Amino acid sequence: MNLRFTNCRILSSDMTVTDNAELITSNDKILFSGNASEAAKIAEGMAFDRVIDCDDDLLMPGIKDAHTHSAMTFSRSLADEYCLDDWLHKAIFPREAKLTPDHVYWFSKLAYAEYLAGGITSCFDMYFHREASAKAAVETGFRHIFCGAANDFGGFETLEDNYNDLNSYDPLVSFIMGFHAEYTTSEKNLRFMAELAHKYEAPVFTHISETKAEVEGCIERYGVTPAVLLDRLGIFDYGGGGFHCVWFTDEDREIFKKHDLWSVFNACSNLKLASGITPVYKFIADDMKIAIGTDGAGSNNSLDMFREMYLDTVLSNVETHNAAAVDPAVILKAAVSDGAACMGLNDCVSLDAGMKADIIRIDMHHPASLPENNIVKNIVYSGNPGLVKMTVVNGNILYENGEFTTIDIEEVRRKTASMVRELA
Amino acid sequence: MNLRFTNCRILSSDMTVTDNAELITSNDKILFSGNASEAAKIAEGMAFDRVIDCDDDLLMPGIKDAHTHSAMTFSRSLADEYCLDDWLHKAIFPREAKLTPDHVYWFSKLAYAEYLAGGITSCFDMYFHREASAKAAVETGFRHIFCGAANDFGGFETLEDNYNDLNSYDPLVSFIMGFHAEYTTSEKNLRFMAELAHKYEAPVFTHISETKAEVEGCIERYGVTPAVLLDRLGIFDYGGGGFHCVWFTDEDREIFKKHDLWSVFNACSNLKLASGITPVYKFIADDMKIAIGTDGAGSNNSLDMFREMYLDTVLSNVETHNAAAVDPAVILKAAVSDGAACMGLNDCVSLDAGMKADIIRIDMHHPASLPENNIVKNIVYSGNPGLVKMTVVNGNILYENGEFTTIDIEEVRRKTASMVRELA
């Protein structure tokens, strides 16, 4: 599909806004973005499937959800009364034992619909029955990056096959090494993880320091924090990173900095599960690589990256007694650009020519976008999923003005409603 | 206007959901809400301006924004780097000195558009050039409740006239006694406020205990906290309440409980200005009267009550180490019902017959509303303004599927853009 977006503004990779712009896509890629008069030359002789007058709206790179459990939409507003440990063991694990690939297929589709409606163009997803999600992602046209979720209950035996199979499955799908968490993984399995990372010279991701109890447990077991342990085992020798990072020590941050690892924040989930508040300002002060995720719909409970961006910006203020503890432009960059690099999507970091056409259109006529004292701040402080007018993934329009082009939301609604009853 | 909503679900006053329902309005009031078969009898012989098939969507009472400064939309994303004190004195007060009634008229209209798009049907607004806001509200059809904003810079001399004039201006407009805050008001003026409250046997509202410095200042000046001081002066003898209440002591809460006063929370503004986190769970444990507001767009920076509901529910979790510190149903009730009572709108608290027709339609086909494990939790934990499909105030449809019926949003966009430049 070739698309021409006229009369738009474009968020540049340095988080400034280019006025009087156009953007042209050719199949899955951005062919041009920038000055409208230059665009006219490029467009000459091209055939377009759609010419879209953006009416001065903003085009920006799609938002990257850098930590999620997509199919956990089944557990939205379920067992909300539990803290992380109880929530996992009493509410989630028993239901997950019943989940079939068909369940995961439909609950993944529901997640993709919510991602697309909220401007999210790719997710870094840790879950199982991955072949079912992969099928749903490709059918939807959504960019789905899997993260290994192995733990002592299973997954290590198939990790290498997943890595090889899912990385050659479809251009929209890839797989990054990972395991669930130190607290669900024996030392033997952790050592296996390190071997595999070395064999493939692969980055590894995991849940890390999400709760105080988890860190205390690791210290009890090994005498050190999870980050120190995993570093010593060589798991991070080829990069990767951690999800949550709420209870990081200064030493943990140093280890992450040393290996150039990604710290992925999940503010809503951490608040809701009473896990804690990540001192985002410290990670930024240490010039660390940061990205942002929603976590699953069971613990968030939405897949709304606008709310995450807001909280990652303002939650540091109270602790620091500083209303400008975190620069909203840094957080927006983490959400739309750095998140892509975190999940290995180096061709999805900006709207520059040559990048993949993962693009969203933000309504600049919505009252929450007005007045335009500062567009970047408006998005981070005042944005919400209702501002997303269009979502394009890999050059295809998947969502426009409330309608999905590849998802039958009524079918998803019916199927997931009956499946929720099956799992109860 | 007579409206008939068929094929809907209705949020009852006890925060449960009635299925297979209908709702009928007659002019500004709800004539019937409940069982569809009963509705057919009521509807017989009635002429309807619209019969709206809700396709199983949820109707609920409009959301009440119980503390805001509507016209401060001019300051959205402006001077975000300041804490409350600097923000007021360096950024806001100098610009407010330039504000004309015409500015306030247009920036109020912008706020009304954002309220309506986010399901808010009335606001409890503290600002000046009130006649301009009142005009804009009546033209829009929006329900605007003013709160007195007097302080030592002005307002006490006109407070009584405002009270009498604005309470007879239009059915959509009313005025409740109030003053800005203890820290901007001399003891002489506070005593005047108390006299006026006694003369009219009127409730009084004010900003209170928003920052630690404010409370410390009051203790320095008077030896007691603001709540104790205002109680001693007799300001709360006929009810009223306070906005923010972040730094309340146990004694402050006892005083508020004794006078049956409203505590109005503003979580986003308090986070963003580094003011603190209100321990909402304590107010609920003490069975106090609570409501929720956005505060102004300059400090929030949005007018998004879904984000407020979310934060008022989850922010207590971390402090209490309890993922269920606050019941989301209590927060939803505070936002849609109790907020109405707080601002004197006792005929806007529910969708029961006889109440004013202030109604919103929530999209139950949006992915963020699915699956329906728990509808109330879905709204509080996973809702966002994008779920609002229709907003009805006083029986009139003011917003539907992204369009405003009484606001020319393009005119608002143009006017406010040029006015922002004038104020700079």
Q: A324-352: per-residue pLDDT in tens?
A: 999 999 999 999 999 999 999 999 999 99
CATH of B63-342, one of 3.10.129.10, 3.40.50.11540, 3.20.20.140, 3.60.130.10: 3.20.20.140
How far is B382 from chain A, CA to nearest CA, in Å?
4
**Residues 94..113 of B with a Cβ closer than 8 Å to A: which?**
110-111, 113
Report chain B residues whose CB lies below 8 A from the CB of A401. 402
Question: What local confidence, expressed as pLDDT, does residue B245 receive?
Answer: 98
How far is B39 from chain A, CA to nearest CA, in Å?
27
| C-alpha span between A178 and A67 (Å, rounded) | 12
The overall average pLDDT reported for chain A is 96
Residue A295 tokens read as: 């976590």
Q: Which of A131, A317, A127, A384 is nearest to B118 (CA)?
A: A384
A202-259: per-residue pLDDT in tens?
Answer: 999 999 999 999 999 999 999 999 999 999 999 999 999 999 999 999 999 999 999 9
pTM over 0.90: yes
Average pLDDT over residues A385-391: 98
A262 residue type, one letter: W
Q: Where are the alpha helices (DSSP H) in B177-233?
A: 187-200, 212-222, 226-232
| C-alpha span between A21 and A8 (Å, rounded) | 5
Task: List residues bridging with A59 in a β-sheet.
Answer: A10, A361
Q: Which of B325, B356, B324 is nearest to B340 (CA)?
A: B356
Q: Which of B173, B164, B168, B165 is nearest to B141 (CA)?
A: B173
Reported confidence tier of residue A62, pLDDT bands at 50, 70, 90: very high
Question: What local confidence, expressed as pLDDT, does residue B84 receive?
Answer: 72
Are A93 and A120 in contact, with CB atoms under 8 Å apart? no
A323:B409 CB<8 A: no
Burial label, A176 (beta-carbon count in 10 A; 0-12, 13-18, 19+)? buried
Q: How many CB pairs under 8 A join A and B?
A: 229
Tell me, yes or no, if the two domains A2-61+354-404 and A63-342 fold the same way.
no
Q: Which of A142, A186, A156, A212 is nearest to A394 (CA)?
A: A142
**Residues 113..142 of A with a Cβ closer than 8 Å to B: which?**
113-114, 117-118
| C-alpha span between B243 and B68 (Å, rounded) | 9
Distance of CA A78 to the CA centre of its chain: 22
Contact status of A325 with chain B (Cβ, < 8 Å): yes
**DSSP per residue, A399-422:** EETTEESS--HHHHHHHHHHHHHH
Parallel, antiparallel, or unpaired for β A359-362 and A388-393? antiparallel
| C-alpha span between B112 and B136 (Å, rounded) | 9
Contact status of B318 with chain A (Cβ, < 8 Å): yes
**Residues 45..74 of A with a Cβ closer than 8 Å to B: which?**
73-74
What is the residue extent of each domain of chain A?
Answer: 2-61+354-404, 63-342
Picking from A297, A377, A385, the nearest residue to B384 by CB comes out as A385
For residue B27, how many other CB atoms are within 10 A of its CB? 12
Question: What local confidence, expressed as pLDDT, does residue B345 receive?
Answer: 98
Picking from A324, A370, A372, the nearest residue to B80 by CB comes out as A324
Reported confidence tier of residue A79, pLDDT bands at 50, 70, 90: confident
For residue A213, how many other CB atoms are within 10 A of its CB? 15
Contact status of A153 with chain B (Cβ, < 8 Å): no
Parallel, antiparallel, or unpaired for β A2-11 and A17-26? antiparallel
Task: List residues bridging with A29 in a β-sheet.
Answer: A26, A356
Nearest chain A residue (CA) to B411: A365
Report chain A residues whose CB lies below 8 A from the CB of B386. 117-118, 384-388
Percent of chain A whose predicted confidence (pLDDT) is above 70 = 100
Reported confidence tier of residue A93, pLDDT bands at 50, 70, 90: confident
Report chain B residues whose CB lies below 8 A from the CB of A268. 310, 314
Question: What local confidence, expressed as pLDDT, does residue A307 receive?
Answer: 98
Nearest chain A residue (CA) to B418: A371
The secondary structure of residue B203, as a DSSP letter, is -
| C-alpha span between B52 and B178 (Å, rounded) | 40
b/e for B48-63, b at 16 or more Cβ within 10 A?
A: eeeebebeebbbbbbb
CATH of B2-61+353-404, one of 3.40.50.2000, 3.30.565.10, 2.30.40.10, 1.10.760.10: 2.30.40.10
Picking from B302, B314, B367, the nearest residue to A272 by CB comes out as B314
Picking from A84, A300, A382, the nearest residue to B302 by CB comes out as A382
Contact status of B374 with chain A (Cβ, < 8 Å): yes
Question: What local confidence, expressed as pLDDT, does residue A199 receive?
Answer: 98
Reported confidence tier of residue A86, pLDDT bands at 50, 70, 90: confident
- ipTM of the assembly? 0.97
- Cβ-Cβ contacts under 8 Å for A391 (sequence gap 6 or more): A62, A116, A117, A119, A120, A121, A359, A360, A361, A397, A398, A399, A400
pLDDT-wise least confident of A185-189, A376-380, B18-22, B318-322: B318-322
Distance of CA B319 to the CA centre of its chain: 26
Contact status of A323 with chain B (Cβ, < 8 Å): yes
Residue with tokens 């590894």: A204
Residue A138 tokens read as: 């490709």
Are A70 and B367 in contact, with CB atoms under 8 Å apart? no
Residue with tokens 């940061």: A290
How far is A234 from chain B, CA to nearest CA, in Å?
33
Question: What local confidence, expressed as pLDDT, does residue A82 receive?
Answer: 77
Q: Is the pLDDT of residue A411 over 90?
A: yes
Q: Which of B127, B323, B211 is nearest to A269 (CA)?
A: B323
Among A382, A400, A421, pick the best mutation site for testing chain B contact (most B Cβ within 10 A): A382
Question: What local confidence, expressed as pLDDT, does residue B80 receive?
Answer: 80
Which superfamily, per CATH, for A2-61+354-404? Urease, subunit C, domain 1 (2.30.40.10)
A80:B417 CB<8 A: no
E strand or H helix at A227, and its extent? helix A226-232
Q: Is the pLDDT of residue A83 over 80?
A: no
Q: Is the pLDDT of residue A89 over 90?
A: no
Backbone phi, psi, residue A247, to 5°: -105, 35
pLDDT-wise least confident of A273-277, A307-311, B190-194, B340-344: A273-277
Are B323 and A272 in contact, with CB atoms under 8 Å apart? yes
Q: Which of A227, A205, A206 is nearest to A215 (CA)?
A: A227
Are A216 and A251 in contact, with CB atoms under 8 Å apart? no
**B375-382 vs B305-320: helix crossing angle, rounded to 10:** 90
**Per-residue confidence in pLDDT tens, chain B, 424 aa:** 999 999 999 999 999 999 999 999 999 999 999 999 999 999 999 999 999 999 999 999 999 999 999 999 999 998 887 777 788 888 888 899 999 999 999 999 999 999 999 999 999 999 999 999 999 999 999 999 999 999 999 999 999 999 999 999 999 999 999 999 999 999 999 999 999 999 999 999 999 999 999 999 999 999 999 999 999 999 999 999 999 999 999 999 999 999 999 999 999 999 999 999 999 999 999 999 999 999 999 999 999 999 999 999 999 999 999 999 999 999 999 999 999 999 999 999 999 999 999 999 999 999 999 999 999 999 999 999 999 999 999 999 999 999 999 999 999 999 999 999 999 8
B324:A80 CB<8 A: yes
Backbone phi, psi, residue A208, to 5°: -150, 135
How many residues make up chain A in this entry?
424
Are A261 and A230 in contact, with CB atoms under 8 Å apart? no
A413:B378 CB<8 A: no
State the Cα angle at B222 between B221 and B225, rounded to 5°.
105
Average pLDDT over residues A279-306: 97
Residue B5 tokens read as: 């909503």
Question: What local confidence, expressed as pLDDT, does residue A415 receive?
Answer: 98
